[in-house]
Amino acid sequence: MTVERALRGAPPHRLLDSLRVNLAQQVAALSADLLLVDYGLTTLRPVEPVQAPAVVQDVAVGSGPAGRVLATQQPYLFGGDGPTATAYLPVTVRGERYGVLVVVLPSDRVTPTTTADLVPVAETLGHALRVADRHTDLYHRTRGARPLTVAAEMQWGTLPGRACTAAEFDLHAYWEPSYSSGGHVLDWSVTEDRLQLVVANGTGPGTPSALVSTLALNAIRNARRAGLDLVGQASLTDQALYGQHRGERSLSALLLGFALATGEAEVVDAGSPTVWRRRGAAIERLDLERQLPLGMFEDTVYATQRLRVLPGDRLLFVACDRGEPPPGGGDGALDDSVGRAIERTRQLSGADTPQAVVRALRETHRGLPDDILVLCLDWRGAAFSGAEGMERVKGGRAEYEVCAKHGTKPCEEGGSR
């Protein structure tokens, strides 16, 4: 029985048991354990039923072989000189890093292609986990290094995730707080020819803000799925928020639609987060024409602006509730801090950049709100949309090798669940 068939036939909470049996039969694996990264991206935590004692201990992100594999997204084979060898494999779904699969094998079953042969197993497990999450609390519970607040539970239940990878782009996000909620709004949707993004400032802590964010996010999705353009999405969301809160609660948001073929983008800036572009050696904040936040007044009229991204561009969206911007639409001290933070993270991958930017801002800018979201968009463009293009940009990353080999279509599910 193939791994895919075994996982499809397993109860959602027994995926790992099914995988262990299958790997024992196929490659004589002695054990298989799954480490999931926690909500705060600080710890890799073993998946085990509540009643079973943990065989594998928590691992700090960035330490040991498992932490190395999560960071580099490269499979790693440890040992082999003794009776056993251990394969560490990234479990990643369309760019989102779920964790690491750890497989212990007899040394006499290890070959030069062992890790390469096991990479598709880890990918298949990741996709099975994504489906199983709808039907069991086991994996949600594992990701929690401590309990979530009710507001955070609402936020994690509505946001699409932290990452999406396609041939034309890489998209990665990180936000704080992770175990409570700052009311962040983030969403994306990918079709054959278009990427749509929504990024919004946090609306503050607690359940009331989470309710505002949830209403706004579902209104945006409803409008988008009904085929409305960005202006229509902004208008419907504006009406939904105003109808519920009569202007007492509003949301500063940025709605963007990118043409995958050309990099041309339409933007609706509703009092938005700031947008930064790194093009070559130059880093600059893009000055967009701010319009009224969503839900502030009844029947606000919104208009689109245009910008274009080029292959090699990196856009960073920094969302935090700074209150009303000063005249001119900028905050000089914060902008300086963001610029320095982006400069410090220039050499990092798109996956590592958002968290590093948040950390740098925490270190250098006093008075930063508790809630902050950073989204990093690396644009490659349509030249990389085919299988040959995916090979050119894989850079040794396992997920691109799998996509090129098996023809997986990245992000076919979009960002909405």
DSSP output for 159-196: S--SEEE-SSEEEEEEEE-SSS----EEEEEE-SSEEE
- Residue with more model confidence, 382 or 396: 382
pLDDT at 399: 32
Which of 412, 176, 185 lies closest to 295, judged by CA? 185
pLDDT at 404: 29
For residue 411, pLDDT beyond 50: no
- Residue with more model confidence, 206 or 301: 301
In the numeric block, the tokens 């009569």 are attached to 246
For residue 4, pLDDT beyond 80: yes
pLDDT at 330: 53
CA dihedral 237, 240, 245, 246 (to 10 degrees): 90
Q: How open is the CA angle 170-176-178, to the nearest 5 degrees?
A: 95
For residue 266, pLDDT beyond 90: yes
pLDDT at 276: 96
Could you give the residue range(s) of every CATH 3.30.450.40 domain in the chain?
3-141
Specify the 3-state DSSP secondary structure of 49.
Answer: coil
Q: Is the distance from CB of 268 to CB of 230 less than 8 angstroms?
A: yes
Strands 163-165 and 31-37: unpaired
Average pLDDT over the chain, rounded to whole? 87
Average pLDDT over residues 160-183: 93
pTM of the model: 0.86
pLDDT digits (tens, 9 = 90+) for 303-352: 999 999 999 999 999 998 654 444 444 566 778 888 999 999 999 999 99
Average pLDDT over residues 286-301: 94
**% of the chain at pLDDT higher than 90:** 73
CATH code of 147-406, in short, is 3.60.40.10
Among the listed ranges 52-61, 98-107, 122-131, 219-228, which one has the minimum average pLDDT value? Answer: 52-61
Position 393 confidence tier, pLDDT thresholds 50, 70, 90:
very low
Q: What is the DSSP letter of 294?
A: B
Give strand ranges (E) for 74-150. Answer: 76-79, 84-93, 96-106
pLDDT digits (tens, 9 = 90+) for 133-164: 999 999 999 999 999 999 999 999 999 999 99
In CATH, the architecture of 3-141 is: 2-Layer Sandwich (3.30)
For residue 272, pLDDT beyond 90: no
Could you give the residue range(s) of every CATH 3.60.40.10 domain in the chain?
147-406
